[in-house]
Chains A and B, each alone.
Chain A
Amino acid sequence: MFPKGTKRKFSDSGEEPVSSSDQGQAASSAAAARTLSSSYSLQRQSLLDMSLIKLQLCHMLVEPNLCRSVLIANTVRQIQEEMTQDGTWQIMTQALAAAQCPADRLVATEVLCRQTDAAAQAGQSPKPFSGDVETEVTMSTLSPVSPQLSSASYLAGPFGEQVFGTFEIKHPAPPPDPALEELFSDVDPSYYDLDTVLTGMQSAPKMGPYDLLESLSSHGPTALSSSSSCRSDLNELDHIMEIIVGS
Chain B
Amino acid sequence: MSSLQWNLTRQGTCWPRGDKGGRVVIFQRETESKGESEEVGDTGDSGEYNVYSTFQSHEPDFDYLKSLEIEEKINKIRWLPQQNAAHFLLSTNDKTIKLWKVSERDKRPEGYNLKDEEGRLKDISTITSLQVPVLKPTDLMVEVRPRRVFANGHTYHVNSISVNSDGETYLSADDLRINMWHLGITDRSFNIVDIKPANMEDLTEVITAAEFHPHHCHLFVYSSSKGTLRLCDMRASALCDKHTKLFEEPEDPGSRSFFSEIISSVSDVKFSHSGRYLLTRDYLTAKVWDLNMDKGPVETYQVHEYLRSKLCSLYENDCIFDKFECVWNSSDSVIMTGAYNSFFRMFDRETGRGVTLEAWRESSKPRAVLRTRRVYTGGKRRRGDVGVDSLDFTKKILHMAWHPSENIIAIAATNNLYIFQDRVNPETQTQ
Contact = CB atoms under 8 A, between A and B. Distances in A.
B321 A154 contact: no
A149 B203 contact: yes
A74 B312 contact: no
Given A67-B206, A144-B67, A200 B261 contact: no
Contact of B201 (A147, A148, A153, A198): A153
A242 interface: no
B50 interface: no
Interface in A201-236: 201-202, 223, 226-229
A71 B176 CA distance: 14
B324 to A, nearest CB: 14
A70 B206 contact: yes
Contacts of A156: 201
A1 B312 contact: yes
Interface in A39-96: 43-44, 47, 50, 54, 62-63, 65-68, 70-71, 73-75, 77-79
A149 B205 CA distance: 12
A199 interface: yes
Nearest to A82: B258
Interface centre among B200, B265, B310, by most chain A C-beta atoms within 10 angstroms, is B200
Contact of B66 (A43, A74, A144, A227): A144
Interface of A: 1-2, 43-44, 47, 50, 54, 62-63, 65-68, 70-71, 73-75, 77-79, 144-149, 153-154, 156-157, 160, 197-202, 223, 226-229
B76 to A, nearest CB: 15
Given A67-B225, A71-B321, A149-B203, A144 B68 contact: yes
B201 A157 contact: yes
Contact of A149 (B62, B69, B200, B315): B200
A228 B316 CA distance: 8
Contacts of A68: 318, 321
B262 A154 contact: no
B316 A50 contact: yes
A61 to B, nearest CB: 10
Secondary structure at the A interface, as helix, strand, loop or mixed, is helix
Contact of A66 (B64, B206, B258): B206
Contacts of A67: 175, 206, 208, 225, 265, 321
Interface string B115-127: 0000000000000
Given A67-B206, A67-B225, A74-B204, A44 B67 contact: no
A71 B67 contact: no
Given A66-B175, A67-B206, 20 more contacts: A2-B312, A43-B312, A65-B321, A67-B208, A70-B205, A70-B225, A71-B265, A71-B321, A75-B261, A144-B66, A146-B66, A147-B155, A149-B200, A153-B201, A154-B201, A154-B203, A160-B201, A198-B67, A201-B67, A202-B67
Contacts of A1: 310, 312-313
Contacts of A154: 200-203
B156 interface: yes
Contacts of A43: 312
Contact of A78 (B208, B261, B312, B315): B261
Contacts of B204: 70, 73-74, 77
A227 B155 contact: no
B291 to A, nearest CB: 25
Interface centre among B68, B69, B156, B205, by most chain A C-beta atoms within 10 angstroms, is B68
A94 B69 CA distance: 42
A157 B67 CA distance: 27
B259 interface: yes
B317 interface: yes
14 contacts: A66-B156, A66-B157, A66-B176, A67-B225, A68-B321, A70-B203, A70-B205, A78-B261, A79-B258, A144-B67, A147-B66, A154-B202, A198-B67, A200-B62
A115 to B, nearest CB: 14
B194 interface: no
B71 interface: yes
